[in-house]
Amino acid sequence: MSTTENTTGLLAIDIGNSRVKLGLFAEAASSCIAEAQGATLPIAAPLLPEPAETLTGSLSDLCAGALRDWLHAIGDSRPRVALASVSRPAEGAIASLLDGFVVQRLASETAPIVLRVDEPSRIGVDRVMAAIAANRLRHEGRPAIVIDVGTAITVDLIATDGALEGGAILPGPTLAARALAEKTDRLPDIQFGDLDESPDAVGRSTEPAIRAGVFWGAVGAIRELIARQRDRLTAPPQVFFTGGAAPSIARLIGGPDLSVRYIPHLTLAGIAIAADTLKAEAAS
């Protein structure tokens, strides 16, 4: 991959198992998330960098021209690229489309955060980046729980000193429904997009019954994991949700004794923060 020194801004790339998310940051250190119009949940205000432009798509769509067209629309500037990936095949495919860009690959074990886990190199870098962003948002002296609802659901605990303690992983809604379809004879494979309303807990046919079981099962699992992680703490945690299916679940979790915020671009912001921090450390 060739590189150029004429870089402007930062392009953060979050490569997941199902989708790839990109965010263009002009000034990562000084930007902040603005309040989303029509949001049903509180959105984090200052201290978190906000992407000026975003693109989300499947790997096949991006490789078929969507990424090329989006980069062309950005203009002639070549932002440096910070890339965090949990899929090696997808990472290689995306990297091949970034000829001419300065690319920084982020790894969990070298990220600017304390990882209080058994094998730092094996914890998902997406979880680490989300924790880095959550450290920018949580109040000093307060622990945090970070929940990402995607292909998988992760529920991670951040200690009062900012260390990522580890957490829990379970199937996301679409993955759970797919497992039912693949391991049974007659259950259909259904897709879970962004749910505007929670499904009825009593489905009157097969597909609504699957939606009820998968959705409310995920809500119950997340509630229980939050409760069990809270048992380890001496101060109440702040809870941060992110991920495509997060809004529909996050609005059901909060309460008078639990602060819950939905952050749309939490992982991308963490990538931007980590890249800028590592760049500054290397220059010092």
Cβ neighbours for 44, distance < 8 A, ≥ 6 positions apart: 33, 137, 240, 261, 263
- The DSSP string of 219-249 is HHHHHHHHHHHHTT-SSPPEEEEESTTHHHH
Considering the candidates 14, 126, 148, 276, report the single residue annotated as catalytic: 126
Q: Is 126 a catalytic residue?
A: yes
* CA distance linking residue 35 with residue 22, whole number of Å: 20
* CA distance linking residue 174 with residue 202, whole number of Å: 19
* CA distance linking residue 217 with residue 9, whole number of Å: 41
Nearest to 198 by CA among 180, 179, 218: 218
Nearest to 265 by CA among 230, 238, 240: 240
* Phi, psi (degrees; rounded to nearest 5) at 55: -145, 130
Would you state the structure tokens that stand for residue 183, as one six-digit string?
């391991």
Active site residues: 126
